[in-house]
Structure 1
Amino acid sequence: MSQFSRVKELVDSLEGDFEKFYDKGNQAAGTRVRKGMQELKNLAQEIRLDVQNIKNS
């Protein structure tokens, strides 16, 4: 369950940058959002593999 907590923490940490980028047009915040979303994608892939391994064992 700690992986789910990591996902929630990552999404929560990106909230401010989302607001800065979409509402205020801050380009640096957009870069941080893209980086955070890539981390989220990688974390999601790890979770998918872990779930599949548990199902198959």
Structure 2
Amino acid sequence: MSQFAKVKALVDSLEDDFAKFYDKGNQAAGTRVRKGMQELKNLAQEIRIDVQNIKNS
């Protein structure tokens, strides 16, 4: 799976939890959103490093 597809899949998987947290105030969904956003941050950092390595080679 490409890095971009992983990002899209992760964001799509968080959609329901975003709605539950912001619309209904579900605290557990907020925890899942925070965890997912941390995973997204880590994935984005991996992509940045990969792009930089390709660019420099």
Q: Common fold, TM-score beyond 0.5?
A: yes
Cα RMSD of the aligned pairs, angstroms, is: 0.9
Q: Provide the C-alpha distance between the structure 2 equivalents of 1:16 and 1:2, rounded to a whole number of angstroms.
A: 23
TM superposition score normalised by structure 2:
0.98
In the alignment, structure 1 residue 18 sits paired with structure 2 residue 18: yes
Q: Please list every run of at least 4 consecutive aligned residues from structure 1 whose deviation after the TM superposition is greater than 6 angstroms.
A: none
TM-score, normalised on structure 1?
A: 0.98
Unaligned runs of 5+ in 2: none
Partner of 1:32: 32
Matched positions, count: 57
The sequence identity of aligned pairs, in percent, is 89
